[in-house]
Chains A and B, each alone.
Chain A
Amino acid sequence: MSSLTSLTAARLAALIRTGEVSSEEVTRAHLDQIAAVDDRVHAFLHVDTDRALEVARRVDAKRRAGAPLGPLAGVPVAVKDLFAYVGAPTTCGSRMLENWCPPYNAAVTERVLAADMVILGKTNLDEFAMGSSTETSAFGPTHNPWDLARVPGGSGGGSAAALAALEAPVALGSDTGGSIRQPAAVTGTVGIKPTYGGVSRYGAVAMASSLDQPGPCARTVLDAALLHQVIGGYDPRDATSIDAPVPDVVAAAQSPDVAGMKIGVVKEFGGEGFEPGVERRFHEAVAALAGAGAEIVEVSCPYFPLALGAYYLIMPSEVSSNMARFDAMRYGRRVGDDGTRSVEDVMRASRGAGFGAEVKRRIILGTYALSSGYYDAYYGSAQKVRTLIIQDFRAAFSTVDVLMSPSTPTTAIRIGEPLTDLMAGYKADLCTIPSNLAGIPAGSFPAGLSDNGLPVGVQVMAPVLADDRVYRVGSALEALLEPRFAPLTKEAR
């Protein structure tokens, strides 16, 4: 039943609950799809075939025994390879952690397992989530199911591509500067970055701790909400976890009503550097919401253009500190330990061999931004701009319910496309970064295709802990705009 792979997670859960299909059949269908297409897509770094089928059979037995089942019981999920999952490698797309198997589960892993979901495997990512194209993975790039010569965005390109290629109905991602939303945009899928602290970071390999936020990836808004509800909520093991109920995102995802809602369009995100086809789809999406009764106003956020610069100081600073843990002593790659070299020499050699260019670049940049004499000019200044970005959001949300912008300035670039300079590549996250700096929830939703036939995403941003508003607008967009499916999706239909 290959058509099982084109169903939503919500529908699959309903079919499994009533016994119309078994979780084993559903899991097998997705494993078959992975076997059929993943040599072309390369969304997965590890497929956990045997255990997935075993878990699926266990869920089926539980159902037959009449035991209570969670809302997504028996539904397969793909997991970004920076979340710890005991019994499988967690590589972070890096030679540093090649073949490393964690001794404990991440909070999100625990929660999907406790909800009786079936983990299919671990998905590809830019090395330690540092990148916007999944090309910095030490294990090769992931290919965009819309055009296999193009990138699926990043860092969570594996999770997004797995959804677009029908290899998984839902997936886990993490978003530091756009790593859930930007891949969602360029693969025509849904990706939500929850409020910072809304989903536990415990067991997620850290990149920039004040920005990192795990979240759901899906093909529909409701599926994202259902997964959000499974993984969200307080966890005392993450000191930044918010001790408050998860906003009712599932109800919001089923309420496509924006009548009377006030939607602000960010004035600063458009024009130069934005692909005309992206801007057209964005304005059509906004017009559709206006047609559905939303009030649209243009809002200026004057400091947003500085967010990218502030991010490229704050993020590398936190990276340089977080990556210090990879010292080749207790776990991870160790090279050059020939019995004569000192611990520092072995550390240098191991880090030189274990990290790829982008990781090294960011560690060096962060070390510089934090070094004595430059701290105030770089890291200190960036922290002040972070304050200004938060003030921009505060002012905007005093007059509107949500803010909108394109999710990305362009559609997916070609794999290996030479960039004019380093900053040109970093601009892929131009629109997504401000919400990470401010900790607010934001999501990317499909808005049709650009002139080149590639998917465009629109972004919805809401105040802290108003994640439900993101879902409400997303659900309206889903109801108003025509769905589009990737060529690989059509093949399977």
Chain B
Amino acid sequence: MPQDHIVRSFDQELVALKRSIIQMGGLAESQLESAMQCIVRRDVQLAGKVVQADERLDACETEVDAGAVRLLALRQPMATDLREVVAALKIAADLERIGDYSANLAKRAIALAQVPAVRPVNAIPRMGRLAQELIKEVLDAYSDLDLERALAAWRRDEELDDLYNSLFRETLTYMMEDPRNITPCTHILFIAKNIERVGDHATNIAETIHFLVAGQPIARTRPKGDTSSFAVVSPESSQET
């Protein structure tokens, strides 16, 4: 911001709103991190904690919403101030969804821990790391109002889509090989899908940052990498679509 407001409490409220978002982002990051550990280490106890902790993120979102509505009503913000409040509302919603996916990952980890491990699970940590990186990048970009950083993360989501597509195909072949793989593989598919969705919310946040900083939406359309909705793998070839 180039200059402070004449009314100083207005500045304080905007700063508080931003701080809530950054705090919420940190919480969402650590939830995803823990959820990934649950899957990799087959840690059922930690999974239980992650599921429980999701309530805190929900509470954060409620707090951000209340603060934003209050600001809109009492300050009638304009221009960058208005965009900041709208951005806070949108980012809080994305972070809350990321939290939901983390909780869901933790639940799947509990289920996975009860059946023998299957090979496709090895690809999951890589997807998780990438999703975590994307979230970290967009949160840093939000904190510093760094447009370039946000755009870089926005472009990288395609990598996550690619990982998801290849995992999707691989998992289908495992299920065809042995019906006993179906239970763990189905959980792995949902896990991969959830991580892929986390990436989509990170790109949403990147788009919101673009709106916040530049005052207009991103002009280009993002390359959509998730093609699994169209994927068919037949038992005969067990290869291509």
A is bound by B? no
